[in-house]
Structure 1
């Protein structure tokens, strides 16, 4: 309207700009490419491309002896290496009907929850780095170091501990009294420090204003896009596959959810899940059964394709393969990040360009896990 109240047509040229990030970006731990289509500094569309770190693990596994193939799965990712080898071993155990000793099952739980601790704390440290808060980031790495020392003590390595084997646990990962006592002390230290960190984190008004309402993924979209793990639970969906795994039946723990589906919710879910993992580890240590840690009284035979699903730090992990003459056939591995990353394309749309990277990394993407497969297709002439 002009001063006389008459309609006036205003010509407006809208300029759309493409901003590319990657394949190497200082806020990303692993290589990937992001294309942001921005209008007036607001993200109107996004495209995330993975594949830079591709290694074709499933194709390499084809024809390998199963125990060697299982060891290879541990190399898929340095953050959730135990999750991969554990699930791969469970495929064979399920296919051949191998009964794993109770003590070995408890140690497997301890290893997996320690890995969940270090994975979640790495996420929190990285999240603070993306926020630009180096002090909080370094504090979290300092707290995480206790967990890394425990993993190194048990498995002999800080990364790729090699604990699960078909039928149980590798002998070097047995828990004696000294190791048990150190795990107990470590959990006390981590609980105290993570609680103090969380209190300080949520009471910082600048940080909370920076992460609240940013990168919102609705519950409807989260379900439609197949998200899992903390990314799904941050939208209010109470789904954790550990509730469906018989191995977790003896343990009491809460499924942590938040309702807003934003960066704040994703961060808080993982903070509280750290405390739940500590609770599970303490129960496993207190009720550690006596007995052997391996069952080698089984015979190899051919099997059809067998599937196994477990809950890992980022969500649902799937492994499947068949056995033929003791060798792996038709291996398929599906990690939670492939759908969680896709969902982040939706989460960053509508955000300011400065919040786009924060919106993407809120799902704790693991590109090494995702960049692991190849698909062979037939090109018709």
Structure 2
């Protein structure tokens, strides 16, 4: 309900504007409440829950390999990293050393998925900006990544590459697949460079995104932001440097300043060549040997935890094994902590900037939609 109140000697209109759970600018269902005074957002609230599927509860008591496969259903964008991390939980608990070739293939798939996610982010960002041409150009580039993922995993959405002890035999990289990956990386690198040049040279786009919805470094750390959205505020943090499987690869961790819409968009653009660099190194130095070790034996474990750097940031999986079955599974996705930053980014800005402030943090609400309650930060 609208309410008139006195502020600074004049009437100010305070109202609540609700978007969602279905909104044309959103890829997923969620609800946004904006509390506005004279078209300036004074407070914001984001609520998920529309797409809650109870995956962690369904995993309870399932055989571990079946439960791992279920984790791919958590998200249609970052399905590979979910099963990868879930499999790593079991491998840590069972003390399994996977073959080196399998580790390289997992990294290749992880970086291909990062390319796919970042390109989707750029396309969606341009769509929200109202630049349909740029959005369609990015989707055109992304199609190459999707075909490479399909070629390796047999599917464009859920690939089922990682299994306990390595990767599935059908995901082996032969010479034909390696050549296709090389050609795909050349194409993506060239086209993304062309897009970046046109994007930053467009004065209308730059004026629309520069300084819009900034998140200061101090606030980003307070709100536990992770991934590219944290690095866009100037914080040098990337969990890949702590992951043993990334030790053989040389890559730069990109950081920018400001944490605004421009910094977040450019962060993904600049991270794409780094992922291509990692994939090229993995292809060039791909070890020989087996890709799966099935000699391990099942045993009971305590609670095992695993963190990885997903495309959106820090992804957490944990569970314990009891007679080969999963108990007490917990999954925490990057958007779970980034929601606070999305709310913060809207405050103090015009209502027309609110959706940009939310989108800049690359939300994946369906991926996050397992929480019973979100505590307001």
After TM superposition, is the score higher than 0.5?
yes
In 2, the alpha carbon distance for the partners of 1:372 and 1:339 equals 13
* CA deviation vs aligned residue, 1:209-231 (integer Å, no higher than 9, x gap): 00000111010000000000001
Q: Does 1:364 align with 2:366?
A: no
In 1, the alpha carbon distance for the partners of 2:8 and 2:54 equals 55
Task: Report deviation, 1:12.
Answer: 1.9
Checking the alignment, whether the CA contact within 8 Å between 1:61 and 1:69 is kept in structure 2 is yes
- Of 274, 277, 292 in structure 1, the residue corresponding to residue 290 of structure 2 is 292
Q: Does 1:153 align with 2:151?
A: yes
* CA deviation vs aligned residue, 1:285-314 (integer Å, no higher than 9, x gap): 000000000000110000000000000000
Checking the alignment, whether the CA contact within 8 Å between 1:43 and 1:350 is kept in structure 2 is yes
* CA deviation vs aligned residue, 1:323-366 (integer Å, no higher than 9, x gap): 00000001010001011122111111011000000101100000
In 2, the alpha carbon distance for the partners of 1:178 and 1:252 equals 25
In 1, the alpha carbon distance for the partners of 2:234 and 2:80 equals 28
In 1, the alpha carbon distance for the partners of 2:245 and 2:224 equals 25
Q: Which residue of 2 is the match for residue 67 of structure 1?
A: 65
Checking the alignment, whether the CA contact within 8 Å between 1:83 and 1:112 is kept in structure 2 is yes
In 1, the alpha carbon distance for the partners of 2:352 and 2:20 equals 15
In 2, the alpha carbon distance for the partners of 1:140 and 1:312 equals 21
In 2, the alpha carbon distance for the partners of 1:156 and 1:11 equals 66
In 2, the alpha carbon distance for the partners of 1:10 and 1:206 equals 34
- Of 331, 336, 339 in structure 2, the residue corresponding to residue 338 of structure 1 is 336
Aligned length: 367
In 2, the alpha carbon distance for the partners of 1:118 and 1:313 equals 9
Q: Which residue of 2 is the match for residue 31 of structure 1?
A: 29
Checking the alignment, whether the CA contact within 8 Å between 1:76 and 1:372 is kept in structure 2 is no
1:10 to 1:204, Cα distance in 2 relative to 1, 3 A: closer
Residues 1-381 of structure 1: pairs in structure 2 closer than 5 A: 11-374=9-372
1:10 to 1:260, Cα distance in 2 relative to 1, 3 A: closer
Task: Report deviation, 1:246.
Answer: 1.1
Checking the alignment, whether the CA contact within 8 Å between 1:59 and 1:374 is kept in structure 2 is no
Return 5+ residue gaps in structure 1 as ranges: 1-8, 376-381
Task: Report deviation, 1:10.
Answer: 8.0
Q: Given the two structures, how large is their TM-score scaled by the length of structure 2?
A: 0.96
In 2, the alpha carbon distance for the partners of 1:11 and 1:372 equals 46
Q: Which runs of 4+ in 1 moved over 3 A?
A: none
* Secondary structure of the structure 2 residue equivalent to 1:37: strand
* CA deviation vs aligned residue, 1:64-110 (integer Å, no higher than 9, x gap): 00000000000100000000000000000000000100000000000
In 2, the alpha carbon distance for the partners of 1:242 and 1:338 equals 20
In 2, the alpha carbon distance for the partners of 1:308 and 1:12 equals 55
Return 5+ residue gaps in structure 2 as ranges: 1-6
In 1, the alpha carbon distance for the partners of 2:66 and 2:165 equals 15
Query: Please, which moves more after superposition, 335-344 or 69-78?
Result: 335-344
Larger Rg: 1
In 2, the alpha carbon distance for the partners of 1:15 and 1:347 equals 22
Query: Please, which moves more after superposition, 195-204 or 364-373?
Result: 364-373
* Secondary structure of the structure 1 residue equivalent to 2:303: strand
Checking the alignment, whether the CA contact within 8 Å between 1:58 and 1:374 is kept in structure 2 is no
Task: Report deviation, 1:372.
Answer: 2.4
In 1, the alpha carbon distance for the partners of 2:337 and 2:329 equals 20
Task: Report deviation, 1:14.
Answer: 1.7
In 2, the alpha carbon distance for the partners of 1:171 and 1:367 equals 33
Checking the alignment, whether the CA contact within 8 Å between 1:55 and 1:373 is kept in structure 2 is no
CA RMSD of aligned residues (A): 1.1
